[in-house]
Amino acid sequence: MAAQMKSKNYRAKQRNTRYLIYAILIIMAVIWLFPIVWIVLTSFRKEGGAFVPYIMPKSFTLSNYTKLIADATGSYPFVRWFLNTLFVAICSCILSTFITIAMAYSLSRLRFKLRRPFLKVALVLNMFPGFMSMIAVYYILKALDLTQSLFALILIYSAGAALGFYVAKGFFDTIPMALDESAMIDGANKWEIFTKITIPLSKPIIVYTALMAFMGPWMDFIFAKVIMGDDVKNYTVAIGLYSMMNKTTANSLFMSFTAGCVLIAIPITLLFIYMQKYYVEGITSGSVK
Amino acid sequence: MFKKAYKEQHIPFRTLFKDGDFATKLAFVVMGAANLANRQFVKGLLFLAAEVGFLAWFVGNGIHALAMLQTLGTKKQGLVYSADLGIDVLQKGDNSMLLLLFGISALLVCIVIIILYIVNLKSARHIYELKQAGDPVPTLKQDLNSLVNERFHMTLMTIPLLGVLFFTILPLLYMVSIAFTNYDHTHLPPKNLFTWVGLKNFSNVITGDMASTFFPVLSWTLIWAIFATITCFFFGIILALLINTKGIRFKKMWRTIFVVTIAVPQFVSLLTMHNLLNDAGPINAILKNMGLITQSIPFLTDPTLAKISIIMVNMWIGIPTTMLISTGIIQNLDQEQIEAARIDGANKFQIFRAITFPQILFVMMPALIQQFIGNINNFNVIYLLTGGGPSNSNYYGAGSTDLLVTWLYNLTVNTMDYNLASVIGILIFILSAVFSLWAYTRTNSYKEA
Amino acid sequence: MKNSWKRVWLGGLVLGISAVTLAGCGNKSSDQSTSSEASSSKVKGDVKLWVDTDHIAAIKGQVAKFEKANPDVNVKVKAGSSADALKDVSKDPDKAADVFMMPHDQIGQMAEAGLLYPIGKKQVTTIKKNNVDSAVQGVTWKNKVYGYPYGIESQVLYYNKSKLSANDVKTWDGLTKAGKLGTNFAENGTNYIFAPLFMSNGDVLYGQNGENLDGTNFNNQKGVEVLSWIAKQKSNPGVVQTNAAALANLQSGKIDAFLSGPWSKNDVKKALGDKMGVAAYPTVNFGSGDKQMKAFLGVKVYGVNQQTKSPLAAMALADYLSNEKTQEVEFNKNGVVPSNKQAQQTTKVKTDVVAKSVMEMSDTKHSVVMPKLPEMTTFWPPMDSLINDVYKGKIKSTQYQEKLDKFVTDNAKKTK
């Protein structure tokens, strides 16, 4: 009898904890979703400017979206920006993934002189704040006659990938060396081991790397602007949307800005939700042994 | 299976020069001579082409570029009256900034050719040694074949490293050099020249005028980085535990809700936050309408409150990432161990403290270090949320919430004191580099099997 | 196996790229001696023009007319950002526009950096003849003229006519007694609105001509009076701290007036409709009688890039875009208040309430031409925090003198 009481008690207590957890989760979910819901609502708002002291729009409209996509003035070609970004993102995603994987593989699997010192140098090389190098990179690109082109962006984003190999290297470290060795005994060369054994085993890290590389161009609004300068047609969405927020236009274009934000956030979010499994595997793989 | 070739004994180059045949001797002056003489035509021609190209460039541009590196220009830009046009006409002068950049590139090119020269000598020596031993000299095909075997790392890494050389190292050297010049708002090119000033800027930042800005900003940067990292880490784990509590349903839905915030570009979510937290923004308005407050809460305009708001907003951004990762870890925890602990009478908190948490910490350590460094350089959160404000009358070019990195940005964009910005960049670099080298050498991904 | 084949081609590639890179440099250095090639005195060439996005429509029409009049000139209109002129042109003067919109207060820094073309004597005479004095003062730096003024702007007082009468808004005290003025003392941006208070009370910033680095004298009795006055506004029930939400508050009736420039005209009209009233700044009393409250006067300018390949064409274009006709177009389409004397006299401009008030503000009694000293960049942030902290009471009245002393000494420092 007493035991039964105890277990009943226990179950009730557990139920209460569960309700408490639900309550906390709901509150947190509200906090987390609130800004996002606000952006979405604002993108449909008909009246007012950047600052209104309420959340629910008084009247709804689709014109923020249609204005943005139609681009009557020709000054904010959103669709073009979107395609530019997509192009840059896809190209730099392919290139960066290849570069990162190649670097990580070399540093994890192959042994050569200067490997260890290189690991250390590569680790710290990226820690120099990039703002000052932007102008130097700009002039290097200018000397190569590449400024104001999407190719320059792809080049820059991919070049950066060469030092971002740490997570992937951690992943390769976990693949047993014995696999390589047995293949080598079968007469495979390094290239064949890399392409036929390691890569097929590395789907999570490849997807993770690709995902990160793909998302980069959608978010960079400073470096890209330095490279693109006044060439509005070649802007990416991030520079373009950010350029809508300058002093004179911030108020009048705010709703179109949020509409643009919603439009770029949707595909990235869907992609990210779909790929979150790989994201976790990727980022944790480096340290799981 | 790994070559131990590096340990091999070689004859010194001096002996090589003395003992080698004519072609080998010639290789000391004409790169690739030894290769050409031994039928390694493609390789030899490449060496030769590199030397010829270098010399042509050196005479044409290189000497000038290197010479100018010394003074960073002597001829000022000026205007001369042109009677023909009826106006003053521009006389271009030296542009110190470009001279510095190209001078450094020229230095890099010289270093590359020196390395190449040594490679050429080693190649000559190798051929010499093979001949001495009576072995055949490798053919082009054999050489190419080695690229997918012993030298596979070169095949994979050459191109990426070129990118690093040109888009990371060269700009970095340029940046570092600027710290030793007087490139500030009174010496702006193209009209003005700037020049080397030694360590003056460093003393200015550390002990001089800038010290009263530098040290407070530095300490806030560190406080921020510590808090931002720890809060996100800690609450992220708690959130993950909550979601993964037994009996909680719709786990995937909860996770997805929080994941959405990772996917929204930061400039969007942060500008939104800036708007929401504004003195006139919706949050203040709602609180006022509910009668909770009469005066707007200065979320972003009071120095202390702004700092708290920033850390809070950063939690909004950072917690989901930690949650996602620690979920992965929690799901892979050794359940037997936990069960055993429970049978031994450990309560939930004890299990968490003794088993779950250490495990998470162990796995997440590298990510945590990375986040800490990332937070020291967290430009987006500060720039988009407060822009460094509210202002602070004691600082030069920085506001109350400016981190070193946003201060650096202000110095380049607003006040145009590139030299100071560069000094700060170097200091940030030293700070992060020392910390991360220290930390990484203690973690797993660095130590390897 | 140390003779590394791979390194050969690595080196070759590096050298190849370097050669291209440095050839780029080489070209530049060989350019140095040959100055601009526009040696023929005819106006011709390709000219790139940067205008703010919202001005493109208006300017394109004028550019078409200019091209018709000068068939040898080919103008490319691009979207730029006038506020970032200094930043964008200095990034790479070679690739920047030949003619660009800019605010006059960047003239000092840009002229010192050799980014702006000084204007030829003939055109200077026309500029001086055609434009109001304050605009001419705005484009003059160290006795040389560096820009073509095409408009003036200064803050004015917008108010709700149903709440305030024209008489109320003549004095600060009357205004804040009869209604609520929403303005910004407590946040960044207050420097632009309230720094001129010092000048209202008779102090000077960077000397009379605004070019003298040690010419600031805020650290006198008058300066202290100004700070005391600012501190007092905290308890003035007629002053409401408002920054970003001014327009929303004006619409909802929380405030009845606010200080802003011609750029707010359309927004205010949307908010208030027919009830929109516009006036010049009121008078303020710092304790020694009513003084005219002053504002900073900004001059909108076309600058010509010193590195331009075709200076004559660029100058002709800038001249055309700042002439009377274009100023009228700009006024009609974008509400830019003209700086041209004739354009100011057209009935359309004269009957426009905002333009009228801005023009009234543009004389020396109502405004100070914003100094264009490069060191202005170091003036703004401390000014912001000074006013913020005094208003919030963080600086006690006993510290005013000391704070002003520090401000003035810091401000006079040449380089940091």
Domain ranges for chain C, please list them.
Answer: 45-153+298-368, 154-297+369-411
Task: Break chain B into its structural domains and give their ranges.
Answer: 5-198, 204-440
Expressed in percent and rounded to 5, the helix, strand and coil fractions of chain B are 65, 5, 30
Distance (Å, whole) CA B37 – CA B48? 12
In CATH terms, is domain C154-297+369-411 a member of 2.60.40.3500? Answer: no
Q: What is the nearest CA distance from B301 to chain C, expressed in angstroms?
A: 7
- Whether omega before C237 lies within 30 degrees of 0, making that bond cis, reads no
Domain containing A252 equals 66-285
- Number of structural domains found in chain A: 2
> Which residue of A18, A31, A136 is in closest CB contact with B175?
A136
CATH of C45-153+298-368, one of 3.30.70.1280, 3.40.190.10, 3.40.50.720, 3.30.70.20: 3.40.190.10
Distance (Å, whole) CA B84 – CA B93? 22
Chain B residues touching A261 at Cβ < 8 A: 264-265, 268
Do the chains contact at C5 and B146, CB–CB below 8 Å?
yes
Is it true that C45-153+298-368 and C154-297+369-411 share their CATH fold?
yes
What is the ipTM, given to two decimal places?
0.85
Higher per-residue pLDDT: A113 or C404: C404
Using 70 as the pLDDT threshold, list the residues of chain A that sit under it. 1-7, 283-289
How many other CB atoms sit within 10 Å of the CB of residue B344?
Answer: 9
- Among C10, C50, C95, pick the best mutation site for testing chain A contact (most A Cβ within 10 A): C95
The confidence score (pLDDT) of residue C104 equals 93
Do the chains contact at A52 and C248, CB–CB below 8 Å?
yes
CA atoms within 13 A on the CB side of B104: 21
pLDDT band at residue C19 under the 50/70/90 scheme = low
Judge residue B12's burial from the number of C-beta atoms within 10 Å of its C-beta, 0-12 exposed, 13-18 middle, 19 or more buried.
exposed
List pLDDT tens digits, range C76-103. Answer: 999 888 888 998 998 888 889 999 999 9
Chain A residues touching B320 at Cβ < 8 A: 32
- Looking at the structure, tell me whether residues A43 and A117 fall in a common domain: no
- Among B264, B274, B378, pick the best mutation site for testing chain A contact (most A Cβ within 10 A): B264
Q: What are phi and psi of C182, to 5 degrees?
A: -90, 120
pLDDT band at residue C374 under the 50/70/90 scheme = confident
Distance (Å, whole) CA B377 – CA A249? 30
User: Which residue of C lies nearest to A48 if distances are taken between CA atoms?
Assistant: C248
Distant-in-sequence, close-in-space partners of B418: CB < 8 Å, separation ≥ 6: A132, B178, B183, B184, B411, B412
CATH of B204-440, one of 1.10.760.10, 3.90.550.10, 3.30.1490.480, 1.10.3720.10: 1.10.3720.10
Nearest residue to B301 (alpha-carbon basis) of B276, B278, B270, B273: B278
| Residue C155, phi-psi category: left (phi > 0), alpha (psi -120 to 50), beta (remainder) | beta
Residue with tokens 């020196």: B114
The confidence score (pLDDT) of residue C2 equals 36
Distance (Å, whole) CA B102 – CA B170? 10
Q: Is A128 on the interface with B (CB under 8 A)?
A: yes
Do the chains contact at A14 and B157, CB–CB below 8 Å?
no
> Which residue of A55, A258, A265 is in closest CB contact with B282?
A55
Cβ(C314)–Cβ(C108) below 8 Å = no
Do the chains contact at B390 and C388, CB–CB below 8 Å?
yes
List pLDDT tens digits, range B35-78. Answer: 888 888 888 898 999 999 999 989 888 888 888 888 888 888 88
In sequence order, the β-bridge partners of residue C52 are C80
The confidence score (pLDDT) of residue C218 equals 93
Cβ(C127)–Cβ(C145) below 8 Å = yes
The confidence score (pLDDT) of residue C401 equals 93
Distance of CA B284 to CAs B242, C39, C410, Å?
30, 63, 37
Distance (Å, whole) CA B52 – CA B113? 11
The confidence score (pLDDT) of residue C370 equals 92
The confidence score (pLDDT) of residue C287 equals 87
Q: Is A221 on the interface with B (CB under 8 A)?
A: yes
Above 60 in pLDDT, residue C72?
yes
Nearest residue to C369 (alpha-carbon basis) of C186, C152, C176, C161: C152
**Average pLDDT for B406-421:** 87
pLDDT, mean over chain A: 85
Do the chains contact at C248 and A49, CB–CB below 8 Å?
yes
Distance (Å, whole) CA B107 – CA B102? 8
Do the chains contact at B445 and A38, CB–CB below 8 Å?
no
Distant-in-sequence, close-in-space partners of A70: CB < 8 Å, separation ≥ 6: none
Contacting subunits of B (3+ beta carbon pairs below 8 A)? A, C
List pLDDT tens digits, range B150-166. Answer: 778 777 888 888 888 88
How many other CB atoms sit within 10 Å of the CB of residue C34?
Answer: 8
Instruction: Return the HEC string of B73-99.
Output: CCCCCEEEEECCCCEEEEECCCCHHHH
Both tokens of C413, joined, read 């420092």
The confidence score (pLDDT) of residue B146 equals 78
List pLDDT tens digits, range C231-244. Answer: 999 999 999 888 87
pLDDT, mean over chain B: 84
Listed ranges A78-87, A272-281, B293-302, B340-349; the one with the highest mean pLDDT: A78-87
List pLDDT tens digits, range C123-160. Answer: 899 999 999 999 999 999 999 999 999 999 999 999 99
- Looking at the structure, tell me whether residues A199 and A76 fall in a common domain: yes
pLDDT band at residue C38 under the 50/70/90 scheme = very low
Cβ(C257)–Cβ(C157) below 8 Å = yes
For residue C304, the surrounding DSSP H or E stretch is: strand C295-304
The enclosing domain of A82 has a CATH number of 1.10.3720.10
Above 60 in pLDDT, residue C29?
no
Q: Is A152 on the interface with B (CB under 8 A)?
A: no
Distant-in-sequence, close-in-space partners of A38: CB < 8 Å, separation ≥ 6: A55, B272, B276, B282
Residue with tokens 């002393």: C405
Cβ(A234)–Cβ(A84) below 8 Å = yes
Above 70 in pLDDT, residue C35?
no
The confidence score (pLDDT) of residue B3 equals 40
Do the chains contact at A127 and B153, CB–CB below 8 Å?
no
pLDDT band at residue B2 under the 50/70/90 scheme = very low
Residues of chain A with a CB closer than 8 angstroms to some CB in chain C: 48-53, 73-76, 135, 138-140, 142-145, 147, 226, 229-232, 243, 246-249, 251-252
Both tokens of A252, joined, read 């009048």
Both tokens of C30, joined, read 């060989």
Above 80 in pLDDT, residue C292?
yes
Both tokens of C235, joined, read 């308890």
- Looking at the structure, tell me whether residues A106 and A240 fall in a common domain: yes
The DSSP bridge pattern shows strands C140-141 and C73-80 to be unpaired
Share of chain C above pLDDT 90, in %: 54
The confidence score (pLDDT) of residue B400 equals 87
Chain C residues touching B149 at Cβ < 8 A: none
The confidence score (pLDDT) of residue C32 equals 39
SS3 state of residue C151 = strand
- Among C5, C107, C414, pick the best mutation site for testing chain B contact (most B Cβ within 10 A): C5
The confidence score (pLDDT) of residue C36 equals 41
| Residue B154, phi-psi category: left (phi > 0), alpha (psi -120 to 50), beta (remainder) | alpha
The confidence score (pLDDT) of residue B236 equals 92
Both tokens of B256, joined, read 């997805």
List pLDDT tens digits, range A83-137. Answer: 999 999 999 999 999 999 989 888 888 888 788 888 888 888 877 777 778 888 8
Distance (Å, whole) CA B43 – CA B31? 10
The DSSP bridge pattern shows strands C295-304 and C148-154 to be antiparallel
- Looking at the structure, tell me whether residues A73 and A121 fall in a common domain: yes
> Which residue of C29, C112, C245 is in closest CB contact with B191?
C112
The confidence score (pLDDT) of residue B352 equals 84
Distance (Å, whole) CA A196 – CA A191? 8
Chain A residues touching B285 at Cβ < 8 A: 53-54
Do the chains contact at B84 and C39, CB–CB below 8 Å?
yes
Exposure letters C330-344 (e unless 16+ CB within 10 A, then b): bbeebbbbbbbeebb
Cβ(C282)–Cβ(C174) below 8 Å = yes
Separation of CA B80 from chain center: 44
Q: What is the nearest CA distance from B97 to chain A, expressed in angstroms?
A: 9
List pLDDT tens digits, range B195-221. Answer: 999 898 898 888 887 888 899 999 999
**Average pLDDT for B311-324:** 91
Cβ(C288)–Cβ(C226) below 8 Å = no
Distance (Å, whole) CA B327 – CA B312? 22
In this prediction the pTM is 0.85
Chain A residues touching B239 at Cβ < 8 A: 28
- Looking at the structure, tell me whether residues A232 and A163 fall in a common domain: yes
